[in-house]
A = this chain, B = another copy of it.
Amino acid sequence: MARQGRTRKETGAEETGATGAAASPRPANTPRTGRRVTSYDVAREAGVSQSAVSRCFAAGASIAPATRERVLEVARRLGYAPNALAQGLISGRTNLVALLITSLTNRNYPEVLAELTRRLTDRDIRVLLFTLNAESEVDSALDQLWRHSVDGAISAAHLSDDQLRLFAQHRVPLVLYNRVADGMPAASVSCDSVAGERELVGRLLAAGHRRFGIVAGPEDSYVGEDRRRAALARLEEAGITGVPVVRGDFSYESGAEGLQALMAQDGKLEAVICVNDMMAIGAIDAARDRFGRTLPDDLSIVGFDGSGPASWSSYRVTSIRQPVRRMTEAAVSMLVERIEDEKATVERRLFAGELIEGRSARLG
């Protein structure tokens, strides 16, 4: 009965298709484009049942090699490929992973998105991308996540505890990238900001710097705050307190302005700690242009990240390089593991950064 209804409908659709195709001229031998080719079409043509066709496209389904061969041949000829929506609807697996990233992060570290996407694609997983411009956009992005039944998500954007809880409620595996949850257990991959910043500051101290300034990030940035605190803590251990701190937004411009603000507070500044490379670059340019300083003789400036432009010969920023490749690989493999095994233990992986000596600071 269901079959009959289906058959009737198919005929109707085919007519529509033919009409549509006729409207836009096409060579007579190109495939008909009117309606999507379904597994029923392939089944009919190959003289097997629809479920047999389905099995041919499923890994490890029991199907006779000869049948399989024949079906795949027909499928290829008709240009058939399983409909991902139908597959996802019935199997509960979409092979779709959501990537949440702030547009700021993407602007400063485009390689993160590229690497994550590449590694996911390598594992035959598609990417549903959400670039967030404001905190407020997270909720609507999450709403779409649930609707699209993604198999998992990687977030390089800030999520509140409530939002993290939603992932658990919806049973969507999640891996945080370069941020850890405050009060919740959540899988994450990050670069060790504390250790990196401590090393950097330690080396600045060893070189004899005593008058410091910090260009921090926005208050809601996890990595920014982590680095700021680590730097301040390390300085305090060395008996240096009352260090001026200004905040930027991780951009070049804010780095330049940050340096200017610090110089206004202390014209005899010896070392400036920027919590990311982009701001360090802005600070370097400002130090040269606006204050005529020569680095690293007159002033030391350090950054963090090891992003592309930091290594350009005009800057050679002294910094901590994040192992982006290893981190993205870890994020993806952790996520896949959690998708495969719902009970996988929550793991936080912390990667050490590598100190880049550069030429923008005197190190001890």
Contact in complex: B143, A81 (CB < 8 Å) = yes
**Neighbour of A131 across the interface among B84, B117, B143, CB < 8 A:** B117
Knowing A99-B129, A129-B99, A315-B314 are in contact, say whether A146-B94 is a contact too (CB < 8 A). no
Q: Which of A66-74, A167-175, A331-339 contacts B (4 or more CB under 8 A)?
A: A167-175
Contact in complex: B103, A114 (CB < 8 Å) = yes
Contact in complex: B99, A106 (CB < 8 Å) = no
- Complex Cα distance, B20 from A170, in Å, reads 12
Knowing A82-B147, A149-B85, A285-B313 are in contact, say whether A128-B131 is a contact too (CB < 8 A). no
Contact in complex: A85, B81 (CB < 8 Å) = no
Residue A345 CB within 8 A of the other chain: no
| Residues on B with beta carbons closer than 8 Å to the beta carbon of A130 | 117, 121, 127
Knowing A133-B118, A312-B285 are in contact, say whether A33-B169 is a contact too (CB < 8 A). yes
**Neighbour of A33 across the interface among B114, B128, B168, B252, CB < 8 A:** B168
| Residues on B with beta carbons closer than 8 Å to the beta carbon of A86 | 89
| Residues on B with beta carbons closer than 8 Å to the beta carbon of A218 | none
| Residues on B with beta carbons closer than 8 Å to the beta carbon of A170 | 33
| Residues on B with beta carbons closer than 8 Å to the beta carbon of A79 | 169
| Least CB distance, A143 to chain B, in whole angstroms | 6
**Neighbour of A252 across the interface among B24, B165, B312, CB < 8 A:** B312
| Residues on B with beta carbons closer than 8 Å to the beta carbon of A103 | 114, 117-118
Contact in complex: A127, B128 (CB < 8 Å) = yes
Contact in complex: A126, B114 (CB < 8 Å) = no
Interface set, chain A 3-26, CB cutoff 8 A to B: 24, 26
Knowing A312-B281, A312-B285 are in contact, say whether A85-B88 is a contact too (CB < 8 A). yes
Q: Across the A-B interface, give the 7 residue pairs with the lowest CB-CB distance, nearest first.
A: A110-B110, A129-B129, A84-B147, A103-B114, A314-B314, A285-B313, A117-B131
Known pairs A127-B128, A127-B129, A286-B313 / 18 extra A-B pairs, C-beta < 8 Å: A82-B147, A83-B149, A84-B148, A85-B94, A85-B148, A85-B149, A106-B113, A107-B111, A110-B110, A110-B113, A113-B113, A117-B131, A127-B130, A129-B129, A252-B312, A285-B314, A289-B313, A314-B314
